[in-house]
Structure 1
Amino acid sequence: MAEGGGPPVFMVDTYGARAPPVPKRERAQRSCGVAQVLLFILVTLALCGLVVEAFFIYSLHQSKYVSIIDSQKTHLIHQTIFIQNEKKKKSTHSFAFWVCVPGGPEAHQDQHVMGWNVNGEPLLHEIDYENKRLVIQKEGYYFIYSKVFFTDSDTFYHSVQKHTVRYAEHSISLLLSRNYSPPSNKYYRQNSFLGGVFYLEKHDALFVNVTNTQKVVVYQAMENVFGAFML
């Protein structure tokens, strides 16, 4: 008991009933700093991914562009080679062109096989002329043609024959025409033209056969022609 008879004095802890202290701001700042770092890392990774993706897209586009250019170059090279080969083929094609000159030495030597001018300027390339025949030196497809101008009062035969080593005894008729003239007109004149495409082998010989070479009119050179050219 206290002095003076007063009531007893108790010590009361006034701090015990108070709320817990508020956390310090340093912890909140630390947590915000960690979140910001994580967010920065994620954004950086996303940007890096975009950069890598853009690089791959650019590389793919460049590879496609290069492949297109390469294909165009290859096509151009092939086209150039094809054109050069076609030019070579055209330059190496065989051809022959003969005319029957009026009064020529071979005009009427044979009754049936026509002779052609050998003293003029015939066009020949890889085709020889031997014994009134065109001798093929390069196998392939040829366009063969012949035209004769004749006078007859009966039937006149005009043909292009082929002689080959496979059939040495006989010739083969490639082109043939029959022309009928009025028997009343002795000087009836007309033309006969033959032309066609045939496959010829090396050493095949071509010649023109008629009913009678004496009935062939040779007033002008271009009235009677014979030739072939390779396709």
Structure 2
Amino acid sequence: MAEGGVATCPQVFVVDRQASYISQPSGKASRWPRVSQKFLLLLLGLTLLGLVVEACFIYGLYKKTEEFNLCKHPLCQNLSHPQTSGQQGGTIMRQVGPKESNEIPTVPPHLDQVQQKPFAQLIGANDPKGENDMVLWVYEDASSHGMGYDGKGRLLVEKEGYYYLYSKLTINAAEDCSVIQHKVMKKTSAYDLPILLLRSKRNRCQTKSHSAKASGGEDLWNSFLAGIFHLQSDDKIYVILENNTKIRPGPTDNLMGAFMIFPGKILQ
């Protein structure tokens, strides 16, 4: 109690329940959601635009592929109608002979094909025994172009290049034992001595019973040599048969030939 017997009234606090204690955001903070929404809408629009452009590109490729498949493209039409495209380009393919003819149409060869590569095939002479065991040939009835013959068994090379050389001889080996050597030689101006290109060597021995069965006292067998060699102009190619008395004469039993397969010289 207070002095004088008068009591003091207690202090009363009043609580206002309608008062709001939630803090309101400022005006600057409320702008960020709007800006982010606009940015997301812009990215979505760019994505849709890219999809539309890609779809148009794919559709254009599909239409071009469809034109080729249906043969509507001008290039496809030129391939399917070569005569029309040839007339447009100025080149006309002419058909030789009527359509109903059985003749094979001939096409004029190119200028490079007109000049044929050198070749020659010599046939054996009726008397093929030359000097130093060299085999003689007949050149008058031979097939040749761009190559010569010296009349002594040597084939003359006129153009440098790689040649396929071959030689076939028919030999009578009726003796009891004999050694037979068939050679293809080359004589060139770069060397004094001849060069051996091909050789076949065989020891031929037979029994008496076998030799008795041989008709006409002959035992014939063939020797064939072939190879590819680089030859220069003025080279001479010839064939040697050691002990050439065993050779069987005749144009069909003996051959010698050469033909060019590549002109000039391959640089390595």
TM-score range, shorter chain: 0.5 to 0.7
Deviation at 1:101, TM superposition (A): 2.9
**Alpha-carbon deviations, 1:45-72, whole Å to 9, x = none?**
xxxxxxxxxxxxxxxxxxxx99xx9xx9
**Identity among equivalent pairs (%):** 27
Alignment check: 8 A CA contact 2:130 2:153 kept: no
Alignment check: 8 A CA contact 1:111 1:212 kept: no
Corresponding residue for residue 191 of structure 1: 222
Counterpart amino acid of residue 147 in structure 1: K
Corresponding residue for residue 173 of structure 1: 196
Deviation at 1:213, TM superposition (A): 1.6
> Residue 166 and residue 141 in structure 1: after superposition, are their counterparts in 2 closer, same or farther (change >3 A)?
same
Counterpart amino acid of residue 147 in structure 2: I
TM-score norm. by structure 1 comes to 0.58
Alignment check: 8 A CA contact 1:111 1:213 kept: no
Alignment check: 8 A CA contact 1:177 1:194 kept: yes
Distance 1:146 1:183 in 2: 25
RMSD: 3.0
Larger % of helix: which? Answer: 1
**Alpha-carbon deviations, 1:56-111, whole Å to 9, x = none?**
xxxxxxxxx99xx9xx99xx9xxxxxx836524xx420001101133x4xx11325
Instruction: Say whether residues 1:101 and 2:125 are aligned partners.
Output: yes
Alignment check: 8 A CA contact 1:182 1:188 kept: no
> Residue 123 and residue 135 in structure 1: after superposition, are their counterparts in 2 closer, same or farther (change >3 A)?
same
Corresponding residue for residue 154 of structure 2: 133
**Alpha-carbon deviations, 1:7-40, whole Å to 9, x = none?**
xxxxxxxxxxxxxxxxxxxxxxxxxxxxxxxxxx
**Alpha-carbon deviations, 1:106-152, whole Å to 9, x = none?**
x113251111124x411121111013101100000100000000123
Distance 2:116 2:200 in 1: 32
SS of residue in 2 equivalent to 1:214 = helix
Counterpart amino acid of residue 116 in structure 1: W
Aligned length: 152
Matches for 1:212-231 after TM superposition, within 5 Å: 212-218=243-249, 220-231=250-261
Instruction: Say whether residues 1:123 and 2:154 are aligned partners.
Output: no
Matches for 1:1-231 after TM superposition, within 5 Å: 84=110, 87-88=113-114, 91-102=115-126, 104=127, 107-118=128-139, 120-130=140-150, 131-152=152-173, 153=175, 154-168=178-192, 170-184=193-207, 185=211, 187-218=218-249, 220-231=250-261
Deviation at 1:187, TM superposition (A): 4.0
Alignment check: 8 A CA contact 1:110 1:213 kept: no
Question: Unpaired segments of 5 or more residues in structure 2?
Answer: 1-73, 79-84, 90-108, 212-216, 262-268
TM-score norm. by structure 2 comes to 0.50
Counterpart amino acid of residue 135 in structure 2: M
